[in-house]
Amino acid sequence: MTPPPDLLLKSLADPTRRAIFERLCRDGEQTVGTLTAHAGVSQPAVSKHLGVLKAAGLVRDRHAGRQTHYSAQPASLAPLRDWTRDMERFWEARFEDLEDLLKRMDQ
């Protein structure tokens, strides 16, 4: 199941949350503690952000002993990429027609 793009957008709208997600993408799986050390906000706040990211399907958690490890699920960004790709194709196609028109137009 893939979450709808609006949920993804809302999840990533918050800069702190986006930074957490980016860190997970860049550095791989991490614990809440490690993430807190870099986030600049309290551990409960980080946990809350992770909860939102998890609900959006952007991260996955794994419990090991008393620690919870989080990892990014970048594949869940696919619906966003689809939108931009489709729009890129749309404009590429329009530009083709524009080129044709310009050739037909007199100076």
Partner 1 sequence: MSEVQTVTIEREFAHPPGKLWRALTQPHLIAEWLMKNDFVAEVGHRFNLNGDWGGTLDCEVLEIEPERTLAYRWDHVNDNPAYDLRSVVRFTLEPAAGGTRLRVEQTGFRPEQKQASGGAKFGWQNFMGKLDELLGRID
> Which residues are near partner 1 by CB under 8 A?
2, 4-6, 9-10, 12-13, 79-80, 82-84, 86-102, 105, 107
d(CA 44, CA 17): 13
Q: Give least dist CB 94 to partner 1, A.
A: 6
Q: What is the DSSP string of 68-104?
A: EEEEE-GGGGHHHHHHHHHHHHHHHHHHHHHHHHHHH
Sign of CA dihedral 9, 3, 70, 52: positive
Between 18 and 69, whose beta carbon lies closer to partner 1? 18
Coil, helix or strand at residue 29: coil
Between 37 and 98, whose beta carbon lies closer to partner 1? 98
Q: Give least dist CB 38 to partner 1, A.
A: 22
Q: Give least dist CB 56 to partner 1, A.
A: 12
Between 5 and 54, whose beta carbon lies closer to partner 1? 5
d(CA 54, CA 76): 11
Between 12 and 50, whose beta carbon lies closer to partner 1? 12
